[in-house]
Amino acid sequence: MNETLKAARLDFALLRPYWKTLCFIILMPVIYTGVARSLSAGISFEMCMLGITASYTFAISEKNGMERLYGALPVARRHLVFGKYLLICATGLLALGISLVTHTAVLKALGETVHAWEIAVSAVLGFFVYTFYVVFQLPGYYKFGAVGGKMFQFIPVTGYLLTLILLPRVDPNSPVLTAVLGRPGALAGAVLLCCAAAYGISIVVSVRIVKNKEV
Query: Could you say whether residue 119 binds other proteins (CB under 8 A)?
Result: no
Q: Which is nearer to other proteins, 73 or 198 (CB)?
A: 73
DSSP string, 155-167: HHHHHHHHHHHHG
* Distance set, CA 61 to CA 66, 101, 153, 203, 213 (Å): 5, 32, 17, 19, 15
Which one-letter DSSP state was computed for residue 182?
T
Size of the site for other proteins (CB under 8 A): 24
**CA-CA distance, 110 to 34, in Å (whole number)?**
8
The answer to whether 68 touches 89, Cβ cutoff 8 Å, is no
Rule CB under 8 A: choose which of 1, 72, 109, 176 binds other proteins. Answer: 72
Mark the segment that binds other proteins (CB under 8 A) among 29-37, 62-70, 168-176, 188-196.
62-70
- For other proteins, the binding residues in 76-105 under the rule CB under 8 A are 76
Query: Could you say whether residue 74 binds other proteins (CB under 8 A)?
Result: yes
Q: Which is nearer to other proteins, 109 or 215 (CB)?
A: 215
Q: Which is nearer to other proteins, 15 or 27 (CB)?
A: 15
Q: Which is nearer to other proteins, 77 or 103 (CB)?
A: 77
Rule CB under 8 A: choose which of 21, 23, 35, 71 binds other proteins. Answer: 71
- For other proteins, the binding residues in 1-40 under the rule CB under 8 A are 6, 9-10, 13-14, 16-18
* Type of residue found at 32: Y
Nearest to residue 159, comparing CAs of 190, 143, 137, 178?
A: 137
* Distance set, CA 115 to CA 37, 39, 58, 179 (Å): 13, 10, 39, 21
**CA-CA distance, 207 to 6, in Å (whole number)?**
17
Distance of closest approach, residue 151 Cβ to other proteins, in angstroms: 25
Q: Which is nearer to other proteins, 13 or 180 (CB)?
A: 13
Distance of closest approach, residue 21 Cβ to other proteins, in angstroms: 11
